[in-house]
A and B are shown apart, each in its own frame.
Chain A
Amino acid sequence: MSQRVFVTGIGIISGIGNNVDETLQSIKQKKSGVTDIKYLQTIHKGVIPVSEVKLSEDELIEMSGLDKNEPFTRSTLMGVIAAAEAVKNAQIDDVKEYKTGLISGTTVGGMDKSELFYKDLLETTNHIEYIETHDCGDSTERIADYIGVKDFVSTTSTACSSAANSMILGSRMIKNGLLDRVIAGGIESLTRYHINGFNTLMILDKELCKPFDENRSGLNLGEGAAFLVLESEELVKKTGKKVLAELTGYGNSCEAFHQTASTPEGKGAYAAMKEALDRSGLKPEQIDYINAHGTGTDNNDLSEGRAIENLFGPNPPKISSTKAYTGHTTSAAGGVEAVISVLAIQNNMIFPNLNFKNQMKELSFKPVTELLENVKVDHVLSNSFGFAGNNSALIFSRY
C-alpha cells in the first residue's frame, strides 16, 4: 500500500464539450450546457432544462467509428469517446503492454434503450438485441473492448458517487500492485426514467440551477462521460511519462440516514472529506479549491455547506460547483468533476459557480463567481454524494 497514484490522462464529453479542450473553453467563457431538451423524446421537453451532449446517436456513432448495426446505448457511445480520449491523452499506444483495468460507474446503464423498446420487449420479438444492453456492465465491457482492456473490468453503481468510487477502487488496486494502471470514471445518459424519477422527488429546477444560492430551487440533470488514466508510481517512473496530477486522497462514508436525503449537518459529507484529507496527509488549510457536489437542491447545498464549515472553519478554501455548466451528470459526475479538478491544477485556475446571486443565510461563505486565473491551485478536493447515503471525496494534487 505504498505506491503513489498519478493521473496521466483525462477524457470527457458532456453538455459543454465533446473533449477536454472544448470543456475548458466553455468553462472559461462561462458557457453552460443547460438548455431545452433536444435529443431525448419526453413530455418534459421545453419544461425541464437539462444539459445534453450536443450530438445525436448517429453523430456519436460516426465520431466513435463503431458499427451502426450493433446495439449501442447512448451511455456506451459517450463512454467510448471519453475513454479513448483519456487513453490518447495518456499517450498509451498499446493498452495491453501493462496490466490495465477499466472501472466505470453507472446507475442508469442502458435504460435509454430499455425505456424506448420496453413494451416491444414484453410483447414482441422486436429489438431483442437491446435486452442485453440494459444492465450496467454492458457499457463497461463495450468500452473495454473498444480501447483494448482485458486484465480487469468492473462497474460501480452507487448513484451520483459511482465515478468517484471507481477511482477509489482503481487507486487501491494500483497501490496493492494488482494493476499497473486503471482507466476509471463514469458515464450516464439522460433517460426519461431518471428525469421523471427526479421530477417526482420535486428537486428539479425548471430554470437554470443556482448552487449555493439562498434562492436555489433544485438541480438540472445532465449527461456525459469522463475517465481518468491512473498509473502507478513505478510505471510512471519507468516510462518517464508526463503526470497531470496525483490522486493523493480519497474518502468513502455512508450517511445511513435516508435513501434520498442527507442530514442537515452533512455528517456523511464531513466524514468522506475528513477521510480524504487524513489519507492525503494534508491540513485543511492546504486545500486551495473545493469542487463541490453542489447540486442546487435545498438539502444538498445546506448539508454540504455545513460539512465544509465544520471541517474547514468559517473561512473555507475557494469553493464552486460546476454543475450549472454540466448539469448533474449523476454517475458520471465524479469523473466529470475530477477532470475539471485536474484542469484547475494544470491551468492554475479556479472556475466560477454560475447563476449565484445571494449568499445562503445559514452559511458563512459564498462560492467563487468569476474565473480566477494565475492562482495557486496545488490541492483540489472534489465531492460526490449519492442516493442511499453513498458519499465520496477525492483529492487531486499538483505533482
Chain B
Amino acid sequence: MEVYIKGIGNISPQNTINSSIFLDEVVGHDTDFLSCIEPNYKEFINPIQLRRMSKLIKMGISASKICLKDAGIENPGAIITGTGLGLVGDTEKFLNQMLDNNEEFLAPTAFIQSTHNTISGQVAIALKCFNYNNTYSHRGFSFESALLDGMLLIKDKDAENVLIGGFDEITPEHHSIIKKTRWVKNETIKSLELLDHKTQGTIVGESVTFFSITGKKDENTYARIKNIKTVYKPESNEEIELKIDRFLAENSLTKDDIDLVVLGLNGNIDTDDVYYHLADNYFNTNYAYFKHLCGDYHTAGSFAVWFAANTIKHQRVPEITRYRKENFIEKPIKNVLVYNHFREVDHSIFLLTQ
C-alpha cells in the first residue's frame, strides 16, 4: 500500500505556503477561530476567473498548484479530495437567500459552487485533468478516505501519481452555530495556549492541504506513507491500543520502533483522555501535537500528515509542537505515527516513514 509524498501545497493558519520552510515562525491566533493565511491568488489564478470564485475555491486551486509545482508534476493521474462540510460559505449564501426570499429571486452561482466535489472538479478544470476524480465527505474520515483511495489507485497501477486534498473552511456564521454544541469552547483563548485551558470544547480552524503521492521514491520525497487505518467507534482505550498494535504488526513494526507520535490533542477535557492514556501508558517515545497551530476540523488529519512528513524531511520537531517536552530526547526521526480522532467517533492512524 505504501506511497511517497512528492509534493505538498498547504494553506493553513500558519505560514505553510512556502514548502521549503517548516514552522520557522509560528503564528498565534487570539480570535474566535483560526483562519487561513491566504496567498496572493493572482500568482495562481487569472483575474477574470478569480472574481467569480469563493474563498475556498481560490484556496483549493492555489494549494493544488503549489503542490503540483512542488512535486514537478503537470497533470496528476487522479484527483481525490476529502471534506467534512464542503463549501460552507457558498452553502450559507444560497441557504440564506432561499430562506430570506421565500424561495424566490435566487441566483444559481452559490448553489452550483456548494456541492462538495466543487474543488476536485474545479482543480480538474484548471488542469484539464480527465482522469479519475472523487470526493469523500465523512467527518473525521473524509481526508483519510481520499488518501486510502489514492493509495489503492497507485497499488493497483491505475495511476502513477495522485493529487490528494483535504479541505474545510470555517465562517463566522457557522462558528456561531457550532459554538452552541459541546465541541467548541465558550471562551476565546490564545491558540498557542490550547492545552492550558482544561475546559470543554476545542478551537475551530481550517486548512486546504494537498499532497502529490506516487509509487516511486526520488530525491524530492518528503516521506513515505507506509499505511493508514481508520477505526470507527472503538469501545475503549484498550481497543485503540489493540488496533495500533495490530496496525504496526501488519507493517512489521512495534511501538518501540516509533520515533515520534503525533497526537490530535485539541484541548477538550472531555475527549483528550485517550491521548493522555497513549502517552502515559502505551508509547514510550517523543510526542508532538498540532491543533494549537491549525485548530480542529474534520480534515485536520491532512494538516497532521503535512506536519509528520515535514518532521521526517527536516529531521526536526519544532519546540512549540513538542508534547511532554520535558521527556523529549533528540534522535533521528525514521518512523512517525499520527493518531487523531474526531469527537471520539472517527479515529485515524497514519504511519509515515523515512
Question: Which A residues contact B (CB, under 8 angstroms)?
Answer: 1, 42-44, 106-107, 109, 114-115, 118-119, 121-122, 125, 128, 131-132, 134-138, 140-141, 144-145, 150-159, 165, 169, 172-173, 175-176, 192-194, 196-197, 199-201, 252-260, 267-268, 271, 386-390
Counting CB contacts under 8 A, is B177 at the interface? yes
Partner of B125, one of A1, A122, A169, A256: A256
CB distance from B200 to the nearest CB of A (A): 15
Given A176-B156, A192-B98; A254-B129 close (CB under 8 Å): yes
Partner of A107, one of B95, B103, B116, B142: B116
The chain A residue with its CB closest to the CB of B151 is A176
Counting CB contacts under 8 A, is B112 at the interface? yes
CB distance from B305 to the nearest CB of A (A): 17
A169 to B181, CA, bound (A): 33
Chain B 184-228 residues near chain A, CB threshold 8 A = none
A244 to B51, CA, bound (A): 51
The answer to whether A176 touches B155 (Cβ under 8 A) is yes
Chain B 288-308 residues near chain A, CB threshold 8 A = 298
The answer to whether B103 touches A196 (Cβ under 8 A) is yes
Partner of A387, one of B95, B112, B177, B346: B112
A136 to B107, CA, bound (A): 24
- Using Cβ atoms and an 8 Å threshold, which residues of chain A touch B135? 156-158, 390
Counting CB contacts under 8 A, is B136 at the interface? yes
The answer to whether A201 touches B108 (Cβ under 8 A) is yes
Counting CB contacts under 8 A, is B122 at the interface? yes
Q: B119-156: contact bitstring with A at CB < 8 Å (1 yes, 0 no)? A: 01110110111111111111101100100010010011
- Using Cβ atoms and an 8 Å threshold, which residues of chain A touch B106? 196-197, 199-200
- Using Cβ atoms and an 8 Å threshold, which residues of chain B touch A118? 95-96, 99
Counting CB contacts under 8 A, is B337 at the interface? no
Q: Which of A134, A152, A157 has the largest number of chain B CB atoms within 10 A?
A: A157
CB distance from A384 to the nearest CB of B (A): 13
The chain A residue with its CB closest to the CB of B157 is A1
B interface, size bucket: 35 or more
- Using Cβ atoms and an 8 Å threshold, which residues of chain B touch A137? 84, 137-139, 141-142, 346
- Using Cβ atoms and an 8 Å threshold, which residues of chain B touch A151? 232
Chain B 60-104 residues near chain A, CB threshold 8 A = 79, 83-86, 94-96, 98-99, 102-104
- Using Cβ atoms and an 8 Å threshold, which residues of chain A touch B230? 152-154
Counting CB contacts under 8 A, is B253 at the interface? no
The answer to whether B152 touches A388 (Cβ under 8 A) is no
CB distance from A279 to the nearest CB of B (A): 10
In the complex, 11 of the A-B residue pairs with CB atoms within 8 angstroms, ordered by the A residue number, are A122-B176, A135-B84, A141-B232, A156-B135, A165-B134, A172-B149, A200-B108, A256-B128, A387-B115, A388-B115, A388-B133
- Using Cβ atoms and an 8 Å threshold, which residues of chain B touch A154? 136, 138, 141, 145, 230
Known A150-B233, A388-B120, A389-B133; 16 more pairs at CB < 8 Å: A42-B103, A107-B115, A135-B137, A135-B139, A136-B86, A137-B138, A153-B232, A159-B115, A169-B149, A196-B106, A201-B111, A201-B112, A252-B134, A387-B117, A388-B121, A389-B125
CB distance from B71 to the nearest CB of A (A): 19
- Using Cβ atoms and an 8 Å threshold, which residues of chain B touch A107? 115-117
The chain A residue with its CB closest to the CB of B126 is A256
